[in-house]
Amino acid sequence: MKILSLRLKNLNSLKGEWKIDFTQSPFTDNGLFAITGATGAGKTTLLDAICLAIYHKTPRLGLLTQSSNEAMTRGESECCSEVEFEVKGKAYRAFWSMRRSHKKADGKLQAAEVELAEVEGGKVIASQAKKKLEEVERITGLDFDRFTKSMMLSQGQFAAFLNAKESERAELLEELTGTEIYGLISERVHQHWSESKQTLIALESRAQGVQLLDIAYRESLNEELSSLKNQHGTAKKEKESFDQCANWIKEKTDLAAELSQTSQSLINAETALAEAKPELDKLADAEPAEQIKPLHDKLSDIHNTHRQYTESLESLRKQATELESECKDVDAEVKVSESALQSTKVAQQALEDLITQTVIPLDSDISQGKQKQSSLQSEIHEKNNKKQALDASYQQLRTKLKEQSDTIAESEKFIEQNANLKDVAPKLEGWKVQLTALEESSRELTEIDSNLSSLGIQQAEHIEKQKKIEFELELAHSKLKSNKEKELQLSSRHQALSGASSLEGLEAQQQAMNQQVIVTHQLQGFQERWSLVSNEQQQLSQKMAQQESELKLRNQQRDSLREQYKSQNQLAQSLAQLVTQEEHLAVYRANLRDDQPCPLCGSLEHPILADGAVSVPETIAQKEEAEKYLSELKRQGEALSVEIKSVEFQFSENQSKLSAGQTELEQLQLQWNQKLPALDTTIDIVTPSSAAILTASLEEKVKASQSQISQLKAAEKALEESQKQTSTLSEKAVQLENQLKLETKDTQLIEKKQQDFAERKQKLEAQRLEQRQDLQSAMSEANLKVPDQNVELWINELKDQVDAFQNKEKHLSELRHSVTLVLAEQKNLDSQQSELTDALNQLQKQLVETSDLLNERMAKRAEVFANKSVDDERLKAREQVTQAERSTEQIQIKHKSLKEKQASLSGQQSSINNSLSNTVVSKSQIQSEWEQALSSSPFDTVEQFQSALLPIEEKARIQQLKQSLNDSITQLKAIQESANQKLSALNRHEKASEWIDFKLEDIQNQQTEAQRHLEGLTKREGEITQELVSDDKRREEQSSLFEEIEQYRVEYDDIQYLHSMIGSQKGDKFRKFAQGLTLDNLIYLANKQLSRLYGRYQLQRKQGEGLELTVLDLWQGDNERDTKTLSGGESFLVSLALALALSDLVSHKTSIDSLFLDEGFGTLDAQTLDIALDALDSLNASGKMIGVISHIEAMKERIPVQLKVTKKSGLGISELAPEYRFNP
C-alpha cells in the first residue's frame, strides 16, 4: 500500500485547504522526507488527516462523530480529508468530510460524508461509512489498528514493548497482530470437550435405564394378538353383514318414499297442465292469425306509403309557388349589379389610359435618369479606385524590380564561385552506382567476417561437445559393465530368496494366515466380552445376595416399626380421650360452689377446690408428644417402605440383567464354537488370554511371512530396475555413438564453410580496392576527394550542393525573365493611368447633364400624378372592378340556384306522381289478396283477426309454460320408471326374503354393537402391537445405543487428546503458544532490520522464560544482556527495528510502500542519529517512501526534502508552503 496524495481542509491548526502530491517532485526525487516545524505547529495533523480520510478516526481522538469532532479548526463550519492510495498497482481515492448546519461556526454538526472510489474511471465503490470501512479492509488487508502499527510508527510505544513485563507483552502482541483468535480456539476446544464429556455420561446413563419386556410376557402378548386378529376377521364379517342389511332396508325405504313423491309430483304436473289449458288454447287460436299476419302487415305498409306520397306532393307544390316569387326578385337584382359593374370598368379604363400614355413614360424616363446618374457615380468611384490601385501597383513593381535585381547579382556571384559543380551533375549518378557497389562489397565483407566468427564459435562448441560425448560414452560403457555385474548378483539373490516357493504361493499362505488372524481377533473379542460378562454376572450374584439380606433386614425393621406404631397409636388415642374428659370436668369444676351439690356425684363438699385445679396442660403436652412420636414412626415407616421398594426394584433389575447376561454368555459360547474350527486348534473360551496368545503367535508368523514377501518383492523390483537400467544404458550408449558421428560430420562441414568464406573474402577485398581506386580517379578530375569514412553522407551532401547549384541557375534565368516582364508591366501601367484620367473628366461632364434632365422630368410627373404610386392606383381600380364582379357573380349564382331548385322540384313532383300511381295499383292488388286470405281463415272480420293475435311477450311466456310443463311430466315419468327398476332389483337380492322382516332400528342397534366390538378388538390389537413395537424399538435402541456410545467414545478420545494439547477454560494454553510463535517471527524480522541498522546487537527469547526478551552483544562474544541494560540510543535502535519488523508482520496481506515515523529521535546522540538516518536511507533505497516527523536540526540537515509546517504568531493556526495550497 502506498500513499499517493493527501488533501485536507480546516483540520486542527492547519486552517484552509492544502494538497500534497507525493507522486510529484521533490518527493519522487528523494523518497525520504522530513515533516518539520515547531512543537504544536501541526505536524502530526498530516498523519491524522490520512487516518481520517481512510478510517474516519485518528490515534489521538478516536472516532469522529456528530456529537464529537475535535479535529475541525476552531471558528470554521466544515472540514475534510482526501487520500489517494495505491494497492497492487491500482489507485483508489478515500474521502471524508463533516460540516456544521447552515455553514455556521456554531451550527450543529451533521453526519459525515464518506466515499471510496477508483481513481481511474471514478467508479464509486462505497458511500456509506460501514460499507467503506469493510471495502478498505478488504482491499488493503489492514484495519485501523494494523494500519497505524504498520504505516505510522511511534517509537515510544515500542520502547514500552521492549521493556514490558511478560503479561503486558502478551497483550501487546495479541492487540498488534490479531492473535486473539487462538485464545478463542482454546476456549472453544475446552467447551467442546466439556460438552462431549457430558454427552458421553448422558448416553451411558440412558443405557443403564432401558426397561425390556419379559420373554414369557412377550409370548403371551403375541398369542393374544394372534387370537385378536382371528376375532377381528370374524367381527369384521359380521359387521359387514349388518351394514349390507341396513343399507338394503334403508335403500328400499328411500325408493318407496321416492316413488310416492314422484307419483304425487306427476299428478301435480298433469293438474298444472290442465289448469294451463285456457292459456294454451290462446296459443292454438293465435296460430291461424300468425299465418296471415304478414299479408296484413304488408297492406298496412302500402296504406302508409300512399299517405306519405300524397303529403309529399302537396308540400312540393307549396315550395314551387314560393320559388317563383323569389326568382322574380333576383332577376331585378341581376340587372342593377350588371349596370354598376359596367361603370366601374369605364373608370378603370380612363385611369389606365392616363397611366399608360403619360405617367409610365415619365416614370420610365425618371428611372432611367436615376440609373444613369447612379451608374455614372459608380463608374467615377470605380475609376478613382482603379487609379489608386494602379498607383499602388506601380510602386510595388518598382520595389519588386529592385529586389529581383539584388537577387540576380547574388545568384551570379554564387554560380561564379561554384562553377566546378556544373560538370559534377552528369557524373553524380554514376558515382553513386560505384559507391553503392563499394558499400555492397564492404557489407558483404562484414557479413563474411561475422559468419567466420560465428563458425569459429560453432566449431569450438562442436569440438567441446564432441569431447563431452566421448567422455559420456566412455562413462556409459563403464556403467553398463557395472550394471550387468549387479544384475547377475540380484538374479542370484532372487533365486536364493524364492527357494522352492513362488511369490504367489507365499502371498496365498500369508492371505490364509491373515484370515486366521481376523478370526483370532474375533475370538479375542468374544473372550474379552465373556470375561467382562462373567465378572458382571459374579458381581450381580453377589449384589443380589446382599440385596436379599438387606430386604430381609428392612422387612424386619418395618415389622418392628408397625408394632411400635400400633402401641403408640393406642397411647395417643387414650391421651386424647383423657384430655377431652379433663376439659369437660374442668368446666364442671369451674361451676362448683360451696353448699351447692356436685352435678356428677351430688356431694355438697368439694375438697378439690381446696386442693387446687388438676393440671390439664400437662396432659395435653403428653398427648402432643405422643402424636409427634406417632408421626415420626409413620415417616420412618414410609421411608423404609420406599427403601424396600427401591431394593426390590433393583433386585428385579439385577435378576433381569443376570438372565440377559446368561443368555449372552450362551450366545458367545455358540459364536466361539462356530469360529474355532477355522483355526485347526483347540482353546477354551474360559481360559483367560488364550485367544490373545494365539493372535500374537499368528501375527508373528504373518510378520515373518510378510518380511519374506517384502524382501522377495524388493529383490524382484531391484532386478527389474537393474534390467531396465541396463537397457537404458545400452540405448544411451548407442545414442551417444550416433551423436559423436553427427558432431564429427558437423565439424567437418564447418571447416569446409570456413575455407569457402576465406576464399570469398580474399576476392572481395581485391575487388573493393579496385572499386575505390576507380571512384577516386573519376572524382579527382572534378577536384573532389573521396573521404575514408561516411562516404554515403559525403555523396549525399555533394548531391545537395549540385541540386542547389542547378536551382540557382534555374532561378537566375527565371529572375531575368521576370525583370523583363516587370519593365513591360510598368510601361503598361503608365499608359493605363493616362487613359483613366481622361475617362474621369468625361464622366464628370455626363453626370452634370444627366442630373439636370432628371430634375425636369420629376417636376412634370409631380404635376400630372402627384406622388401616387402607379401600382397602388391600378390595384385600387382592379379591386373595385373585382368587388363589382364578385357581387354580380353572387347574384347570378343565386339566380341560377333558384332556377335549378325549380327544375328539381318539378322533377320530384313528376317522380312522386309516378310512385303514387304505382302505389295505388299495388294497394288494390294487396287489398284483394288480404280479403281472399281473411275469407279463407277462421276469422270473419278484421277485428276477430286482431283479437286473436297475441303480444310477443305473452306469446313467448305461454310457449315457455307449455315446454316447461311437458318437460316436467316427461322427467317425472323417467324418474318413476328408474325407481321401479331399482326397487325390483332390491327385491331380487339373494337375501331379500331374509331381510324383509327386519326392522331398520334393530339392525342399526346390532350394527352399533358390532362396530363397538370391532373397535374394542382393534384398540386392544393396537395396544399390544404398540407395546411389542416399543419393546422392539427399545431393544434396537439399546443395541444401537451401545454402538453410538462406542462411536462417541472414539470422538471423545480425539477431543480429549486435542484438549490435553491446546484446550483450557480461559484460552491461555493455545494463546501462549501462538504468542510465542508470533514473537519468534517478530524477533526474526527485527534481527534482519537490526543487521542493517546496527550490526552489534541481536534479539532472542529468554530460555524457559515464556515471552521474555534478551539482547545478544555480538561484539563481546555473543554476551547475553537484559534489554533494560541498553542505553537510550541503543534502546531506540532496537525499538526502531521492532517497529519496522512489526510493520512487516502486520502487513502480511499488503506490501507497505509508505512509512511515517512520528518523533522518537530527540533522545539520540549524534553518532546514533547518524546510524538511524543511514538505516532510513537504506529503507528508502529499497523503494519505500518514508516520512519522518521531527524538529531535530541534525535531521533537517541530513534530509534535504522537507515539508515545513509554520506557526503564525498569535493566531493559533499554522500553514504549509504556498505551493501546497489547494486551488480547485
pLDDT in tens, 88-116: 889 999 999 999 988 888 888 898 999 99
Q: With b meaning 16 or more CB within 10 Å and e meaning fewer, what string describes 521-550?
A: ebbbebbebbeebeeebeebeebbeebeee
* Torsion angles phi and psi, residue 10, rounded to 5: 55, 60
Of 1031, 1049, 1066, the domain-final residue: 1066
Does residue 899 sit within a domain? yes
Mean pLDDT in residue range 362-366: 81
Of 780, 813, 835, the domain-final residue: 780
What are the angstrom distances between the C-alpha of 291 and each of 285, 545, 923, 957? 11, 123, 20, 20
Identify the pLDDT of residue 831.
79
Long-range contacts of 885-892 (CB under 8 A, 24+ apart): 885/341, 887/337, 887/340, 887/341, 888/334, 888/337, 888/338, 888/340, 888/341, 891/330, 891/333, 891/334, 891/337, 892/334, 892/337
Confidence of residue 11 (pLDDT cuts 50, 70, 90): very high
Confidence of residue 214 (pLDDT cuts 50, 70, 90): low
Please say if the pLDDT value at position 460 is more than 80. yes
Does residue 1114 sit within a domain? no
- Cell numbers 376439659: residue: 583
pLDDT tens sequence across 753-773: 788 888 888 887 787 777 677
Identify the pLDDT of residue 92.
96
More confident residue, 1159 or 468: 468
Mean pLDDT in residue range 638-651: 79
Q: What is the mean pLDDT of the chain?
A: 79
What is the rounded distance in angstroms from the CA atom of residue 826 to the CA atom of residue 820? Answer: 10
Claim to verify: residue 866 and residue 945 sit in the same structural domain:
yes
Q: How many domains does the chain have?
A: 5
Residue 372, exposed/middle/buried by CB under 10 A (0-12, 13-18, 19+)? middle
What is the rounded distance in angstroms from the CA atom of residue 16 to the CA atom of residue 80? Answer: 10
Mean pLDDT in residue range 20-41: 86
Claim to verify: residue 942 and residue 982 sit in the same structural domain:
no
Identify the pLDDT of residue 588.
66
Structure letter (DSSP) for residue 790: -
Task: Give the closest residue to 295 by CA, choosing from 1077, 768, 939, 737.
Answer: 939
Does residue 1013 sit within a domain? yes
Does residue 991 sit within a domain? yes
Mean pLDDT in residue range 813-817: 77
Please say if the pLDDT value at position 1089 is more than 60. yes
Does residue 1223 sit within a domain? yes
Q: Which residues contact 86 (CB under 8 A, 6 or more apart)?
A: 1, 2, 4, 92, 1153
The model carries a pTM of: 0.36
What is the rounded distance in angstroms from the CA atom of residue 1209 to the CA atom of residue 41? Answer: 11
Claim to verify: residue 145 and residue 4 sit in the same structural domain:
yes
What is the rounded distance in angstroms from the CA atom of residue 1221 to the CA atom of residue 15? Answer: 11
Claim to verify: residue 877 and residue 812 sit in the same structural domain:
yes
Identify the pLDDT of residue 154.
61
What is the rounded distance in angstroms from the CA atom of residue 686 to the CA atom of residue 534? Answer: 10
Claim to verify: residue 819 and residue 717 sit in the same structural domain:
no
Identify the pLDDT of residue 503.
67
Claim to verify: residue 23 and residue 73 sit in the same structural domain:
yes
Does residue 203 sit within a domain? no
Please say if the pLDDT value at position 1090 is more than 80. yes
What is the rounded distance in angstroms from the CA atom of residue 685 to the CA atom of residue 692? Answer: 11
Of 1066, 1099, 1130, the domain-final residue: 1066
Confidence of residue 427 (pLDDT cuts 50, 70, 90): low
Q: What torsion do the CA atoms of 1019, 1023, 1024, 1027 make, to the nearest 10 degrees?
A: 170
Q: Which residues contact 1171 (CB under 8 A, 6 or more apart)?
A: 1093, 1094, 1133
Identify the pLDDT of residue 501.
62
Identify the pLDDT of residue 743.
77
Residue 726 sits in which domain range? 452-493+691-780
More confident residue, 1189 or 806: 1189
What is the rounded distance in angstroms from the CA atom of residue 1063 to the CA atom of residue 178? Answer: 19
Claim to verify: residue 6 and residue 50 sit in the same structural domain:
yes
Q: Which three cell numbers stand for residue 1000?
A: 331398520
Confidence of residue 790 (pLDDT cuts 50, 70, 90): low
Claim to verify: residue 816 and residue 863 sit in the same structural domain:
yes
Pick from 279-288, 646-655, 1113-1122: least confident: 279-288
Task: Give the closest residue to 72 by CA, choosing from 44, 95, 45.
Answer: 45
What are the angstrom distances between the C-alpha of 1158 and each of 616, 816, 1085, 1166? 100, 85, 21, 19
Q: Which residues contact 1167 (CB under 8 A, 6 or more apart)?
A: 1129
Please say if the pLDDT value at position 1040 is more than 90. no
- Cell numbers 433381569: residue: 656
What is the rounded distance in angstroms from the CA atom of residue 47 to the CA atom of residue 35? Answer: 10
Does residue 482 sit within a domain? yes
pLDDT tens sequence across 716-734: 777 778 778 787 878 778 7
Claim to verify: residue 236 and residue 370 sit in the same structural domain:
no
Confidence of residue 213 (pLDDT cuts 50, 70, 90): low
Q: What is the DSSP string of 409-469?
A: HHHHHHHHHTTTHHHHHHHHHHHHHHHHHHHHHHHHHHHHHHHHHHHHHHHHHHHHHHHHH
Identify the pLDDT of residue 1162.
65
Identify the pLDDT of residue 130.
92
What is the rounded distance in angstroms from the CA atom of residue 1135 to the CA atom of residue 1090? Answer: 10
pLDDT tens sequence across 915-935: 778 777 777 887 787 778 777
Please say if the pLDDT value at position 656 is more than 70. yes
Structure letter (DSSP) for residue 356: I
Does residue 189 sit within a domain? no
Task: Give the closest residue to 895 by CA, choosing from 336, 318, 332.
Answer: 332
Report the Cα 1105 to chain-centroid distance in Å.
51
Identify the pLDDT of residue 183.
77
Q: What is the DSSP string of 202-219?
A: HHHHHHHT-----HHHHH
Q: Which three cell numbers stand for residue 643?
A: 427403601
Helix (H, G, I), strand (E, B) or coil at 1106: coil
Claim to verify: residue 41 and residue 91 sit in the same structural domain:
yes
Q: Which three cell numbers stand for residue 783?
A: 577536384
Claim to verify: residue 925 and residue 811 sit in the same structural domain:
yes
Please say if the pLDDT value at position 1119 is more than 80. yes
Mean pLDDT in residue range 1181-1204: 78
Please say if the pLDDT value at position 376 is more than 60. yes
If DSSP states are collapsed to H, E and C, what string results for 732-789? HHHHHHHHHHHHHHHHHHHHHHHHHHHHHHHHHHHHHHHHHHHHHHHHHCCCCCCCCC
Identify the pLDDT of residue 208.
58
Task: Give the closest residue to 1003 by CA, choosing from 252, 254, 246, 234.
Answer: 246
Claim to verify: residue 596 and residue 488 sit in the same structural domain:
no
For the chain, what percent of residues have pLDDT higher than 90?
6
Please say if the pLDDT value at position 627 is more than 90. no
Task: Please name the helix (run of DSSP H) or strand (run of DSSP E) that holds residue 117, with its range, or none.
Answer: strand 113-118
Identify the pLDDT of residue 395.
80
Confidence of residue 135 (pLDDT cuts 50, 70, 90): very high
Confidence of residue 260 (pLDDT cuts 50, 70, 90): confident
3-state DSSP helix/strand/coil % of the chain, to nearest 5: 75, 10, 15
Mean pLDDT in residue range 541-558: 85
Which residues of 181-282 form beta strands (DSSP E)?
Answer: none
Helix (H, G, I), strand (E, B) or coil at 544: helix
